[in-house]
């Protein structure tokens, strides 16, 4: 505030104070006169409050006395306030000057923060783009080489069979001592047919090539918010939980003075924050590359109940795009646990914490926010360990005695050992890895665990239509809508009818066989054979509610490298209308619920919009056309209308609270975890 304006304000205040003081003294004199009158009447000899003389004279002065008293008190309070103001004002002026100086310092720090954040955002985007595009180019090149080698492999196998035919014909000619075939009869054709059959049955599998499985897409740096995006403001200035020393609030509105108060700068001494500096480099175009959904690893299983998070030895909370990214962060840090909190929207600001351990002392349960803990392995049994000195056991660390090996270190060793599907830990720091727990031993103090990294099938994942399969009995029909392809297989007989699919060129590995079917009522179990070996004697096919409404019945198997056959056999009931077989890689992280369900069970709810899309892709469900929003009468979170409802939306993401969904006949929820 300028000095001249300060003096003008003070002079004006002095004049106002003088006028008020004169009025105060005048009214105080009148107040004293009234007081003396009342006192004289009240204190006169032989007078008291019950006498008529007192009531008729003294009471008439009470009203004026009270009025004068109120005015006098008000003026006294004004005087006190004026004195306080005069005493406080110099202090406020000093604080204001300090505020101006501090504001300039804060503006400099804000400028520095925004410049560094901009540089970091550009650098991280560049790394993410280069990494993703290099990975995609390497993947495309690998797939092109595999396709070329597969074609050469097929040629070599054709030559193998042809050479066997030639060898057979030469052998037959030698047996005939070189005598030509009789041209009058079909002798030549008979000999050739015989050798052709022998050529097709010869074992040429020694030419099979096992192609390395493409590893999961590695984690890349998280996207960085850049100035002056809404997420940057929320992270850098508002959100203490981000791990940064943010502000509890960031003033954004222009601050004006209250009416009637004048100051030199037009406001009431509130410093307006400087305008955020944008990040021009983020507007530059970059190469767009994408990674196919098949490169997305399966999600780990949920650990413990909903609304729980782990806080021990963990990394600070980080914002991630989806649950898969949170899991990738845990994997790259070598952690077996991560806590994930969904914001129930598609803004990419979901929260993630990873940790090496997560025991009872580390847990925080009953959180009001939807935190969930996920773990990279599952408990197979207590007081159980990998078999001792058995072919299924792959290692023991240490070779003898005990050590300080932790549970996480044991899991990591199993993870790095080929064929290790289970590990056991206990006995004072002893770690064992094994292929199978079939011959596991009982041993107090040990726990056995299942790894969740079993190698998935990668080459014959596809949809196989029923009408293209081999059939025995039954028939192909198309009198009910909702099928894919040109029809569906209709079981006719209660026993003996079957449908068999051939899966060529499989890599070998874990796969889920999902049979798409429709059934109006009841349950019609079917026998499942894989390569002529029974894997399920009676796989349930429960009612879907209508012949036009399709569901899925699934079983997880391990496919062999090369060709596999899958057969569904009627074994006591005629079977549901079977539309197709879906071969899904590994054990899917998701499954499709029943039409008419309002929600997935607790612990199996998909947390984010992005994970909902990943689930649709993994389950071979159509996405377009998609719908996102809030609707009062549909399932919450992720749901599908699948293939059989015309041009309406297939993909649905409803943003109301998870668990508050409403059933609808034409929608089925999509849930996390296997069936």
Residue 439 shares a structural domain with residue 477:
no
Counting beta carbons within 10 angstroms of the beta carbon of residue 327, is it exposed (0 to 12), middle (13 to 18) or buried (19 or more)? buried
Residue 545 shares a structural domain with residue 632:
no
Confidence band for 524, pLDDT divided at 50, 70 and 90: very high
Rounded Cα distance between 328 and 323, Å, is: 9
* pLDDT score of 14: 41
Q: Who's near 3: CB < 8 A, 6+ residues apart?
A: none
Assigned token pair, 185: 């009869």
Of 420, 451, 482, the residue at which a domain comes to its end is 451
Residue 437 shares a structural domain with residue 471:
no
Greater pLDDT, 77 or 441? 441
Mean of the pLDDT values across residues 516-541?
A: 88
Confidence band for 525, pLDDT divided at 50, 70 and 90: very high
The CATH number of residue 471's host domain is 2.60.120.260
Q: Which helix (H) or strand (E) holds 617?
A: helix 609-618
Q: Please tell me whether residue 130 adopts helix, strand or coil conformation.
A: helix
Residue 236 counted as domain residue: no
Rounded Cα distance between 550 and 467, Å, is: 16
| Residue 249: how many other CB atoms lie within 10 Å | 8
pTM: 0.40
Of 113, 129, 145, the residue at which a domain comes to its end is 129
Residue 319 counted as domain residue: no
Give whichever of 113-117, 531-535, 567-571 has the largest mean pLDDT. Answer: 567-571
* pLDDT score of 669: 93
Residue 42: which domain range? 13-129
Residue 404 shares a structural domain with residue 494:
no
The verdict on whether omega for the bond into residue 22 sits within 30 degrees of 0, i.e. cis, is no
Assigned token pair, 449: 């665990």
Q: Which helix (H) or strand (E) holds 127?
A: helix 62-175
* pLDDT score of 470: 93
Residue 291, pLDDT > 50, answer: yes
Tell which residue, 103, 37, 437, 418, has the closest CA to residue 251. Answer: 103
Residue 467 shares a structural domain with residue 582:
yes
CA distance to 233, 234, 237, 277, 279, per residue, from 229 (Å)? 6, 9, 12, 10, 9
Residue 568 shares a structural domain with residue 644:
no
Residue 441 shares a structural domain with residue 468:
no
Of 394, 420, 451, the residue at which a domain comes to its end is 451
Tell which residue, 199, 201, 205, 197, has the closest CA to residue 153. Answer: 205
Counting beta carbons within 10 angstroms of the beta carbon of residue 671, is it exposed (0 to 12), middle (13 to 18) or buried (19 or more)? buried
| Long-range contacts from 136-145, C-beta under 8 angstroms, 24+ separation | 136/289, 136/290, 136/291, 139/214, 139/291, 139/292, 139/295, 142/214
First to last CA, the chain: 73
Pairing of strands 495-506, 562-571: antiparallel
Residue 507 counted as domain residue: yes
Give whichever of 51-65, 176-190, 481-495 has the largest mean pLDDT. Answer: 481-495
Q: Give pLDDT tens digits for 471-520.
A: 999 999 988 887 888 899 999 999 999 999 999 877 767 788 989 999 99
Say which DSSP state 287 is in: -
Percentage, residues of the chain above pLDDT 90: 10
Residue 665 counted as domain residue: yes
C-beta of residue 106 within 8 angstroms of C-beta of residue 247 = no
* pLDDT score of 432: 92
Rounded Cα distance between 650 and 621, Å, is: 8
Residue 658 counted as domain residue: yes
* pLDDT score of 510: 73
Residue 237 counted as domain residue: no
Residue 578 shares a structural domain with residue 508:
yes
Q: Give pLDDT tens digits for 622-671.
A: 787 888 888 888 999 999 987 555 556 688 899 888 888 899 888 889 99
Confidence band for 576, pLDDT divided at 50, 70 and 90: very high
Residue 407 shares a structural domain with residue 485:
no
* pLDDT score of 13: 43
Q: How many domains does the chain have?
A: 4
Residue 513 counted as domain residue: yes
The CATH number of residue 441's host domain is 3.50.4.10
Mean of the pLDDT values across residues 513-533?
A: 90
Rounded Cα distance between 264 and 269, Å, is: 10
Q: Across-strand partners of 537?
A: none
Residue 577, pLDDT > 90, answer: yes
Rounded Cα distance between 104 and 134, Å, is: 45
Q: Who's near 436: CB < 8 A, 6+ residues apart?
A: 392, 421, 422
Q: Who's near 606: CB < 8 A, 6+ residues apart?
A: 590, 600, 612, 615, 637, 638, 670, 671, 672
Give whichever of 61-75, 406-420, 527-541 has the largest mean pLDDT. Answer: 527-541
Pairing of strands 626-629, 651-654: parallel
Residue 427 shares a structural domain with residue 509:
no
C-beta of residue 336 within 8 angstroms of C-beta of residue 408 = yes
Strands (E), 456-530: 463-465, 470-472, 475-477, 488-490, 495-506, 509-518, 526-530
Assigned token pair, 415: 């993870």
Confidence band for 294, pLDDT divided at 50, 70 and 90: very low
Rounded Cα distance between 310 and 340, Å, is: 10
Percentage, residues of the chain above pLDDT 70: 70
How many CA atoms lie within 13 Å of 272's alpha carbon, on the beta-carbon side? 13
Q: Who's near 444: CB < 8 A, 6+ residues apart?
A: 383
Residue 497 shares a structural domain with residue 469:
yes
* pLDDT score of 227: 83
Residue 398 shares a structural domain with residue 487:
no
Residue 544 counted as domain residue: yes
Q: What is the mean pLDDT of the chain?
A: 75
Tell which residue, 672, 651, 590, has the closest CA to residue 346. Answer: 651
């Amino acid at each position: 505030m300028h000095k001249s304006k300060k003096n003008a304000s003070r002079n004006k205040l002095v004049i106002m104070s003088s006028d008020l003081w004169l009025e105060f003294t005048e009214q105080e004199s009148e107040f004293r006169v009234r007081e003396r009158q009342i006192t004289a009447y009240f204190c006169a000899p032989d007078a008291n409050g019950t006498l008529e003389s007192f009531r008729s004279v003294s009471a008439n002065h009470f009203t004026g006395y009270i009025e004068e008293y109120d005015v006098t008190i008000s003026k006294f309070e004004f005087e006190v306030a004026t004195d306080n103001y005069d005493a406080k004002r110099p202090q406020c002026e000093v604080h204001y000057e300090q505020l101006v100086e501090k504001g300039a310092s804060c503006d400099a720090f804000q400028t520095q923060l925004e410049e560094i954040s901009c540089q970091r955002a550009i650098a991280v985007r560049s790394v993410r783009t280069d990494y993703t595009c290099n990975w995609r180019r390497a993947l495309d090149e690998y797939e092109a080489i595999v396709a070329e080698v597969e074609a050469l492999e097929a040629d070599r196998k054709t030559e193998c069979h042809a050479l066997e035919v030639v060898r057979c014909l030469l052998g037959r000619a030698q047996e005939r001592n070189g005598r030509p075939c009789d041209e009058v009869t079909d002798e030549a054709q008979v000999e050739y047919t015989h050798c052709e059959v022998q050529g097709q049955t010869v074992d040429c599998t020694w030419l099979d090539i096992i192609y390395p499985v493409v590893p999961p897409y590695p984690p890349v740096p998280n996207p960085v918010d850049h100035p002056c995006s809404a997420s940057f403001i929320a992270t850098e200035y508002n959100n203490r939980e981000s791990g940064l020393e943010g502000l509890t609030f960031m003033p954004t509105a222009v601050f004006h003075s209250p009416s009637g108060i004048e100051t030199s700068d037009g406001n009431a001494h509130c410093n307006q924050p400087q305008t955020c500096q944008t990040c021009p480099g983020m507007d530059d175009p970059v190469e767009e590359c994408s990674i196919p959904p098949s490169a997305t690893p399966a999600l780990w299983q949920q650990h413990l109940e909903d609304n729980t998070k782990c806080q021990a030895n963990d990394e600070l909370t980080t914002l991630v795009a989806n649950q898969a990214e949170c899991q990738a962060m845990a994997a790259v840090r070598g952690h077996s646990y991560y806590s994930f909190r969904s914001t129930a929207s598609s803004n990419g600001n979901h929260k993630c914490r990873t940790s090496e351990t997560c025991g009872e002392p580390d847990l925080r349960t009953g959180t009001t926010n939807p935190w969930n803990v996920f773990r990279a392995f599952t408990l197979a049994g207590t007081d159980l360990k990998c078999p001792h000195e058995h072919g299924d056991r792959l290692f023991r660390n240490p070779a003898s005695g005990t050590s300080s090996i932790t549970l996480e270190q044991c899991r990591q060793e199993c993870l790095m050992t080929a064929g290790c599907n289970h590990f056991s830990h206990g006995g004072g720091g002893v770690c064992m890895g094994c292929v199978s727990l079939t011959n596991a031993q009982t041993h107090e103090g040990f726990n056995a665990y299942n790894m969740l990294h079993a190698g998935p099938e990668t080459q014959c994942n596809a949809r196989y239509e029923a009408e293209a399969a081999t059939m025995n009995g039954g028939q192909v029909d198309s009198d009910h809508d909702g099928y894919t392809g040109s029809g569906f297989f209709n079981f006719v007989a209660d026993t003996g009818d079957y449908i068999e699919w051939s899966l060529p060129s499989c890599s070998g590995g874990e796969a889920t066989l999902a049979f798409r079917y429709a059934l109006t009522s009841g349950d019609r179990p079917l026998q499942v054979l894989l390569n002529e070996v029974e894997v399920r004697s009676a796989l349930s096919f429960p009612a879907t509610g209508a012949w036009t409404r399709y569901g899925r019945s699934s079983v997880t198997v391990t496919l062999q490298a090369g060709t596999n056959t899958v057969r569904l056999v009627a074994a006591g009931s005629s079977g549901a209308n079977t539309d197709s077989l879906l071969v899904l890689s590994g054990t899917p992280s998701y499954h499709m619920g029943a039409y008419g369900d309002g929600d997935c069970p607790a612990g199996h709810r998909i947390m984010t919009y992005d994970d909902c899309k990943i689930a649709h892709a993994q389950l071979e469900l159509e996405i377009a056309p998609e719908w996102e929003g809030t609707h009062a009468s549909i399932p919450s979170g992720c749901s599908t209308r699948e293939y059989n409802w015309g041009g309406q939306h297939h993909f649905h993401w409803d943003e109301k609270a998870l668990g508050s969904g409403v059933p609808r006949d034409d929608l089925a929820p999509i849930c996390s975890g296997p069936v």
